[in-house]
Chain A
């Protein structure tokens, strides 16, 4: 199953500390080498972006400035994992790094499974209950 992690935080949470950057770099390196992480990236601040929006049947382009949002997406990662449990375990590990290396930081890692063309992925959500026999 493929998962998208969207990391959200309050708009003004500041740049990550060097310690956090280093720890995240190591984790990303490990996850890429383990074949689980397919892609990742950080996003530039909201103020440098734009909104192309449809509302009331009209299309508009807003090129800033923007009202400060409660939470903004700061980055993303795409993982290929076996099931949701594995996604949760790995997202927890990722967020723990923030707790350890950027005191005071608050945010959310939203974990979302990719949709399949015809819902094939759904059956994979059922997880094996096989006991770990040695």
Chain B
């Protein structure tokens, strides 16, 4: 094995073991940020020893022993020994068992600790970006450098974000909290928000760019799956997982070889990932069973599910989609959702019905400068044969579009409308 191979192996083992390490240490230390620091030290120890001594036969147990040794040292140093004597004695016994008990890693049920870890990393006291960085680091085992690459930011920025967030948690006494019952449901929103932010960051990344960016989708999916297994009674956790699984099922066919986006209705459905669709539909079903069909994520997932279940684009159940957008619009009161509803209504009931919704949105401040308003309007006008108005709408939209590809597409549509108007 070359040095680079060993390095990769260490990081791979690390990602598998890290949640168990950090949760075990949090339990000992009652301090998540401190547990994080010490597990990182165990990783550094592995990076130092394994290249010279070889990867140990049971790398997980090695890391656990190294991490626990550091935690015990810390407890001794900080004179907490007397106060926590009972607990330490018990942990020392556990530590001695780590080596001979081959399954110790499989026997620990870390669900509760992991839940605590996720809720600490996503504490509402922290800024969204800090929560995202901390989650990727503490739950997914990404290094600071990897997180920086994934978010296209300098490593120093991410490092600072993490340090500050950990300090905030420690200083505010929130370093070891477990929300339960109703509080858990309330706090869950700030967790789901972060998971979805991580997912979207990866989802919008262009192909061909650094593969770590699209990888964010998988990291978010992972946290989503973890959440549904440790908080199985939270419908929105299942709703978000469904939304992410269903969206991710189209990853391979969302862009063509040149990186140009392929619209959903034009995608080759045979290449949608059926395993992922099945998982998404299962999660959506679970959200519904738990009474969460009307949740924000579950509704969005249900809309995507309509597409996922249509064998061809022509078979899309637009009436149902329009109804789901109606419910979503009532829930989030967003003009952007309303615009999406207009598209679905236009498909279900005809362009006239869609246009009447779009025209009501024309003066929404949030949509001023939003090129998709003009794009949708142009499309509906074109279908109604009002080509000259369609041309004007597309041109106005092109002037507002942020990226070249979209500008190009909208200009082309304006030209098509102009041709239709003169013919």
Chain A residues within 8 Å of B, Cβ to Cβ? 23, 26-27, 30, 32-36, 38-39, 78, 80, 82-83, 85-86, 88-90, 93, 96, 100, 116-118, 120, 123-124, 126-134
Contacts and interface: CB of A to CB of B under 8 A. Distances in A.
16 contacts: A32-B225, A33-B225, A33-B229, A33-B230, A35-B224, A80-B221, A82-B218, A85-B9, A88-B9, A88-B12, A96-B102, A100-B102, A128-B212, A132-B11, A132-B40, A132-B44
Given A26-B107, A133-B144, A78 B222 contact: no
Interface in B8-39: 8-9, 11-16, 19, 37
A118 B155 contact: no
Interface residues of B, number: 55
Given A34-B226, A36-B222, A126 B275 contact: no
A82 B222 CA distance: 11
A22 to B, nearest CB: 9
Nearest to A80: B218
Nearest to B144: A133
A130 B9 contact: no
Contacts of B107: 26
A128 B142 CA distance: 11
Given A124-B211, A129-B4, A82 B15 contact: yes
Contact of A35 (B43, B144, B145, B225): B225
B224 to A, nearest CB: 7
Contacts of A134: 37, 40-41, 43-44, 144
B7 interface: yes
A35 B9 contact: no
Interface string B132-144: 0000000000011
Interface string B202-234: 000001100110010010011111100110000
Contacts of A96: 57-58, 102
Given A82-B15, A123-B211, A89 B59 contact: yes
